[in-house]
Amino acid sequence: MLLGSCSALLAQSSARELETVSRAVAEAKAHTASDARQAIFDIKAYHDNDGRLVVGGITSDSLARKAVVTALAKTGIDYADSIKLLPYDSWALTSIPAASHRTAPRHAAEMATQSVLGTPLRVLERHKEWMRVQTPDGYIAYVPSSSVVPKTPSEMEAWRATKRFIVASPFQIRVYTSASAEGPRDIVTDLVNGCIVSAVGGVGGIENGRLRIELPDGRTGYVDATAMIPIEQWAAQDFDPDLILDTAYSMEGTPYLWGGTSVKALDCSGLAKVSYFANGIILMRDASQQALTGTRIETANWRTCRPGDLLFFGNATTKKVTHVAIYDSNGNYVHSSGRVKRNSVDPDSPDYLTTPFLHAVRIAGNEETPGIIRARNHPWYF
């Protein structure tokens, strides 16, 4: 056989191997890391300068990496493994009342979500003044380094073991420099519902009706003790639709903010998350994700909905979900659209909105199913 023909055959064989391996990588991604909001999967097959077949890149998911390796083994093709698994032992705690997480490491980028003070974050990458982090609901985005405080694995273990309190008040509260201070110049920070703080020295002493606390970055102060509950008490709650709805209604009039997930300002799915988190339940971040959880209730059966069920709205033709609300009773619901307000799914109600209602889901009874987890069972918190 001529040398040129051999070279051509080798090139064809190499191209076929690359195609086979690339297909295997794509299939592994589709099965384990198809949602870029929840997993980083930047793995590709290529030939290096020496002509070797290499599979390399990064992923945030150990199951995704395992799936790639398993899929490639089935091909029987030799390759060089250059896949980097992002760390599972690098941590941070949010250190401001509401930290904005963006889709890219710059302030002008779209806000994707937020985390409140004391939220445990998995640090995936560091980019100068930014960190790429994953929140407890699995959402991945970039947060300014100034909004969080890094923690070592041992420091996180100590945080989980220490005496902690969570803000149970639906309204913003203040941390003061002393047990008697009241002036605006005595404020250390504000706190919002869901913020987690530690008891100074692990004691949790109360003076003048105020609890002495420590913030994630080491600052200390005093806060109204009636606004706080021990984190174990919060996490041990049973499903409470009245608490969920009361939390949502307490924000009535609060402005809509794309990406917002705190009582300061929030979007539609943020309202659902904040309201459920008050009950110790962690929901998925976006409405389109929340719509795939729980027990589905079809549009025609909306009268069977119970308080706390989630209603989903969107495109009647494509069935794409773009909005979520929290059901109350008699067709009424509370949602964030322009501001937090009340409307109805009942066509006969004067509060009815014409936005197409697609379906509902029931969260109650579905805790610990995909996309719904009680904080007491989340290893990042306990």
Residues marked active site are found at 268, 323, 335
User: Positive or negative CA dihedral for 246, 113, 194, 264?
Assistant: negative
- Helices marked H in the chain: 3-32, 62-75, 153-161, 231-235, 241-249, 268-277, 287-290
What does each C-alpha distance from 255 to 36, 112, 335 come to in angstroms? 28, 17, 11
Cα(336)–Cα(271) distance, rounded to whole angstroms? 7
Name the strand (E) or helix (H) holding 85: strand 80-85
- Per the CB < 8 A criterion, the answer to whether 297 and 277 are in contact is no
What does each C-alpha distance from 1 to 4, 10, 12, 98, 115 come to in angstroms? 8, 13, 16, 70, 66
Residues in contact with 14: Cβ distance below 8 Å, sequence separation at least 6, in sequence order: 47, 51, 53
Cα(353)–Cα(356) distance, rounded to whole angstroms? 8
* 3-state secondary structure (DSSP) of residue 332: strand
- Give DSSP secondary structure letters for 156-217: HHHHHHS-EEEE--SS-EEEESSSS--SGGGEEEEE-TT-EEEEGGGT--EETTEEEEE-TT
Q: What is the separation of C-alpha 55 from the centre of its chain, rounded to a whole number of angstroms?
A: 30
Angle at 36 between CA 30 and CA 37, to 5 degrees: 135
- Per the CB < 8 A criterion, the answer to whether 290 and 371 are in contact is yes
Cα(352)–Cα(344) distance, rounded to whole angstroms? 5
- Per the CB < 8 A criterion, the answer to whether 313 and 294 are in contact is no
- Per the CB < 8 A criterion, the answer to whether 34 and 70 are in contact is no
In the sheet where 41-47 sits, what is the strand order?
41-47, 53-59, 80-85
Cα(115)–Cα(95) distance, rounded to whole angstroms? 9
